[in-house]
Amino acid sequence: MTELPHANYLAGLLKSWSGKPVRPLSWLNDLRARAIDRVSQQALPTKRDEEWRFTDISTLTHLPYLPSRPETHLQRHDIDHLFLSEARIRLVFVDGYFQQQLSTIQNSDDLIIGNLPDFSASHSSILESHLTQYAAFDHNIFAALNTAFLRDGALLIIPKNTTIADPIHLLFIATQPEVTSYTRCLLIGEAGSNVTLVEEYAALEQFAYINNSVTEIALAANAQANHIRIQRESKQAFHLANCSVALAHASRYLSTSISLGSQISRYNLDIRLAEEAAECSVDGLALISDNQLADTHTCIDHVKPNGTSHQQHKCIVDGSAHAVFNGKIIVRPHAQRTNSSQSSRNLLLSKTAQIDTKPQLEIFADDVKCAHGATVGQLDPEEIFYLKSRGLSELSARNLLTFAFGAEIISRISIPSLRQQLEQAVLNQTQSN
């Protein structure tokens, strides 16, 4: 079995908890104990594993990064450039730990939001019924590690028939080099609720670290969530993330994921349309260069009839970077009248750039409408010629076309300040390549 980073630390973790009073309830400690047990029975995936055959994370076994420390010297003015003007509610986590002094939480009867441990007693029943129920850790070592080290985390409960007009910003900032951070989010949307959530990962400096993230989202009947996920961490970092979504009757999940940072990033998105007439729309963009590797694995599982899913994923790859996309759509035997489409479009900007894409359909019902497709190519010479004929230089024409390719995904983000930030980030990166 492959030796895990900080294995000795992990082995003594449960013992240290049992020797001191802890605030969380016993069920949470039991959950951690089960996760530690599962970690001990699993190994880090290798390229011999089908789901990881394009992504080599063997480097992690040579990084003895201990868990991050709770202290921080950040002040609000250090990170205000990361704030979104539209977001009046903000939870800030630094190296995985909640920072009350950097956060903005408005008292409201319409929303339950804050640091997860603060609700472990008052909302223990609802937490116990949702936490780890979607992002299972029995066969996922990174989800198991995240749960084993579970302490702080973002909790959002949107009450029944409540619409939160302004976006909620979850900001996870890395400041400590050569550590491992464990970040956690749990969003529960009760029946008829509606919320826009921005989940953002950022670094203030370029250094190496590991970020292990787990997000769980449960939407009750007729609930809606617009989930915008931004990953712009250090280009020396390792970002390993799992997001699991459960959709009830006629609920709607909108997802936009943007990946710009990290040396190696892996994002697993699993969406289960568990009840009839559920709907999801999934957009993704990876923009990488140099020696970066960005791997996105998605699974959209149609369980009941009349479900709808639409997915478009794009990769822009320059230098010697490597992008991976594996998108699976499953239509179960009883999921008749499913309408599903999937598109993977990829742009290579150099001769050494690499893309592996694999859209998949597994259909076990006969009354469905499903389609998928994938393209990998370079910039169109005719389009470049057209722009040059209008007075643009070759470099300017290439930059403009590259920007337009990525901006198609970003333009769908409904938050003006965030959309502007990302458009500028894409423009800066295309101009620097």
Structural domain contains residue 224: yes
Query: Which tens digits make up the pLDDT trace of 9-50?
Result: 555 544 444 444 444 468 888 999 999 999 989 989 999 999
Which of the listed residues 234, 253, 275 is the one where a domain comes to its end?
Answer: 275
Give mean pLDDT, residues 264-269. Answer: 98
Q: What local confidence, expressed as pLDDT, does residue 430 receive?
A: 76
Query: Which tens digits make up the pLDDT trace of 233-245?
Result: 999 999 999 999 9
Q: Which domain range does residue 224 map to? A: 7-275
Which of the listed residues 235, 251, 275 is the one where a domain comes to its end?
Answer: 275
Structural domain contains residue 290: no
Full strand arrangement of the beta sheet holding 368-377 = 97-98, 89-94, 168-174, 194-203, 224-232, 252-259, 279-288, 308-317, 338-348, 368-377
Which of the listed residues 233, 250, 275 is the one where a domain comes to its end?
Answer: 275
Backbone CA torsion sign across 338, 272, 164, 103: negative
pTM of the model: 0.93
Structural domain contains residue 120: yes
Structural domain contains residue 97: yes
For residue 46, give the amino acid letter: T
Cα 16 from Cα 11, distance rounded (Å)? 10
Instruction: Name the domain count of the chain.
Output: 2
Element spanning 30, H or E = helix 26-40
68 with 210, same domain: the answer is yes
Give mean pLDDT, residues 253-262. Answer: 97
Burial 231-246 (b: 16+ CB within 10 A, else e): bbbbbbbbbbbbbbbb
Structural domain contains residue 283: no
79 with 194, same domain: the answer is yes
Q: What local confidence, expressed as pLDDT, does residue 120 receive?
A: 87
131 with 256, same domain: the answer is yes
Query: Which tens digits make up the pLDDT trace of 133-160?
Result: 999 999 999 999 999 999 999 999 999 9
Q: What local confidence, expressed as pLDDT, does residue 16 receive?
A: 46
Q: Which residue has the higher pLDDT, 374 or 20?
A: 374
User: Confidence class of residue 221 from pLDDT cuts 50, 70 and 90?
Assistant: very high
Gyration radius from the chain CA atoms:
21
Query: Which tens digits make up the pLDDT trace of 161-173?
Result: 999 999 999 999 9
Q: Mean pLDDT score of the chain, rounded to an integer?
A: 91
Q: What local confidence, expressed as pLDDT, does residue 6 receive?
A: 54
Phi, psi for residue 292 in degrees, rounded to 5: -70, 155
Structural domain contains residue 315: no
Q: Is 169 exposed, middle or buried (0-12, 13-18, 19+ CB in 10 A)?
A: buried
- For residue 340, give Cα distances in angstroms to 218, 279, 310, 335: 21, 10, 6, 11
Residue 123 clears pLDDT 80, i.e. is over it: yes
